[in-house]
Structure 1
Amino acid sequence: MIEVKQLTKRYGGTTAVKDLTFTVDPGQVTGFLGPNGSGKSTTLRMILGLHEPTSGTVTVEGRPFRSRPRGLRHVGSLLDAQEVHGGRSAVAHLSALARSNRIPRRRVDEVLERVGLAEVAGRRIGGFSLGMKQRLGIAAALLGDAPVLLFDEPLNGLDPEGVKWVRDLFRGLAAEGRTVFVSSHLMSEMEHTADQLIVIGRGELIAAESLEEFSARGTRQSVMVGTPDTEILRDLLAAEGAAVRADGRLLTVTGLSAARVGEIALVHRVPLHHLSTRSGSLEEAFMELTADSVQYLAGEPR
């Protein structure tokens, strides 16, 4: 378990994190979301004791992480897959981590096998692709068989097969009762992976709730309508105040219920081949609820 209480971090006159309070529970994958510059990386670094909070507290399994003499046995983390010595081999890199944390040498071979790098274990890391470095970073996080795992943008550089593998890995780790905390900007993957969400903006908490709750409260439902008379129905629905987007013979309608769309079509004798309601996506909810917290907008002066 990770417990963050009234956590604040200031750099001079800039407040990166402000009065954050949340809990990350074991047994589930918790996604950590926020726009660029929202304070996610700063928060992760404070959890790991790399940055000292200005005020507030953060504990992992009931204690500050800095108090753990063999950290990898308690928390496994991947913050930046590029922060490795390119001249070392993968096996040398992990062996050094194992020795410094008193982890059995056999774990090095086990995690290299698990992440799919066993065949390149002796190669220098400098020749690895970004995806291979991500796998190596995940291997390092798994090395100590820790109950708490933190990952910052773990999917960067991975191909579709690698993304699916990571998704299954995180779910498997959570099913073992571990605390899995994942920061990512890929909403589609969080939608397939996360059970709970922590969402921040400009360093402040926006939401701490289930994926379903967050997606539902931040979006409007839309109605999908299939008809051969798209132009006629589109004009009728627009006259009722609906927003309508056409894609061939399929209309996406917001602002009216499915029942009302069906009534309008019936009255005007417009045939329907399809009528269904679609809930909003995580990405739509995120964009809507963090709109006021976006720090860097494309095309705007700074």
Structure 2
Amino acid sequence: MIEVNELTKRYGGTTAVKDLSFTVRPGLVTGFLGPNGAGKSTTLRLILGLNEPSGGSVTVDGRPFRDRPRGLRHVGALLDAGDVHGGRTAAAHLAALARGNRIPRSRVDEVLAEVGLTGAARRRIGGFSLGMKQRLGIAGTLLGDPPVLLFDEPLNGLDPEGVKWVRGLFRRLAVEGRTVFVSSHLMTEMESTADELVVIGRGELIAAESLADFAARGTRSSVSVRTRQGAELTDLLTAEGADVRPVGGDGQGELLTVTGLSSERVAELAFRHRIMLGELTTGRSSLEEAFMELTADSIEYGARTAREPGANR
């Protein structure tokens, strides 16, 4: 278990993490999300004792991680897959980690096989692709068979087969009762993999809850409705306070997306005013849309929307 309690980190006049508190529980895959510059990498470094907090505390299974000798037996972490000695072979790199943590040399061959790098064990890391380096980094996290695992953008450079493999690996580790904490900007992967989410913005906590609860809190339900009386229905729903957006049409009528009213209310109003509906469905926005909505005020580096063709310059 990872417990973060009012954690703060300042660099001069800049506060990277501010009064951050959350718990990462065993037996679950917990996603760690936030816009660029939100403080995710700083938080991971504070968990691992690589940086000293300005305030607050963080413990791994009840103790600060830096107080634990032979750390790879307690926590496996992948922060930067490219931060390895390119002149070493994959086997030599892992063997050095094993020696420093008093881990049996046999584990090197076991984890290389688990990540699919047995055939590359004697190759120098400098010739590895990014995806191969990611697999090697994951092998390093597994080397000490630790109960807690941290991953920072573990899917970078992986092909579809590799992504599927990592997704299964995280699930297996969680089922084994381990604590799995994954920082990623890939919302679709978090939607497919995570049980819980920790979301931060500008170094402060936005949410720490189940993926389902986060999506429910951050999204707006919408109703898709098709009718041949689009203009009439639009005026009627707008008068009720709904936002109505046309999204196309065909021989069956105009398709509208309605937010701000339930499907039951839309159907009731249409029936009362004798407007025939050809389609009425309810949907919810994606995790990505929920994330964008809830972190909109926390984006430090945002691109401006491109100008329309012909717009004034």
Alignment-mate amino acid for residue 112 of structure 2: L
Residue 25 of structure 2 is aligned to residue 25 of structure 1: yes
3-state SS of paired residue (1:111): helix
Equivalent residue in structure 1 for 2:267, among 254, 262, 271 = 262
In 1, Cα distance between the equivalents of 2:33 and 2:51?
Answer: 20
Residue 179 of structure 2 is aligned to residue 174 of structure 1: no
Alignment-mate amino acid for residue 242 of structure 1: A
Return the index of the structure with the highest Cα Rg: 2
CA deviation vs aligned residue, 1:133-187 (integer Å, no higher than 9, x gap):
1111111111111000000111111222222221111111101000000111111
Match in the other structure for 1:10: 10
CA deviation vs aligned residue, 1:93-112 (integer Å, no higher than 9, x gap):
11111111111122111111
Shift of 1:209: 0.9
Shift of 1:65: 0.7
Shift of 1:74: 0.3
1:47-58 to 2 correspondences below 5 Å: 47-58=47-58
CA distance 1:252–1:162, shift in 2 (3 Å): farther
TM-score (norm 2): 0.89
CA distance 1:237–1:4, shift in 2 (3 Å): same
Alignment-mate amino acid for residue 82 of structure 1: G
In 2, Cα distance between the equivalents of 1:235 and 1:165?
Answer: 51
3-state SS of paired residue (2:180): strand
Match in the other structure for 2:257: 252
CA distance 1:15–1:239, shift in 2 (3 Å): same
In 2, Cα distance between the equivalents of 1:126 and 1:235?
Answer: 64
Match in the other structure for 2:310: none
Deviates more, 1:291-300 or 1:76-85: 291-300
In 2, Cα distance between the equivalents of 1:103 and 1:230?
Answer: 69
CA deviation vs aligned residue, 1:174-225 (integer Å, no higher than 9, x gap):
0100000011111111111111111111111111111111111112111133
1:31-50 to 2 correspondences below 5 Å: 31-50=31-50
CA contact (8 A) 1:216 1:280 kept: no
Alignment-mate amino acid for residue 263 of structure 2: A
Match in the other structure for 2:279: 274
CA deviation vs aligned residue, 1:62-91 (integer Å, no higher than 9, x gap):
111111110100000000111011111111
CA contact (8 A) 1:5 1:22 kept: yes
CA distance 1:245–1:162, shift in 2 (3 Å): farther
3-state SS of paired residue (1:206): strand
Match in the other structure for 1:215: 215
Identity of aligned residues (%): 76
CA distance 1:262–1:123, shift in 2 (3 Å): same
Shift of 1:56: 1.2
Please, which runs of 5 or more residues in structure 1 have no aligned partner? Answer: none
In 2, Cα distance between the equivalents of 1:228 and 1:123?
Answer: 66
CA deviation vs aligned residue, 1:32-62 (integer Å, no higher than 9, x gap):
1111111110010010010011111111011
Alignment-mate amino acid for residue 214 of structure 1: F
Deviates more, 1:1-10 or 1:243-252: 243-252
Shift of 1:269: 5.2
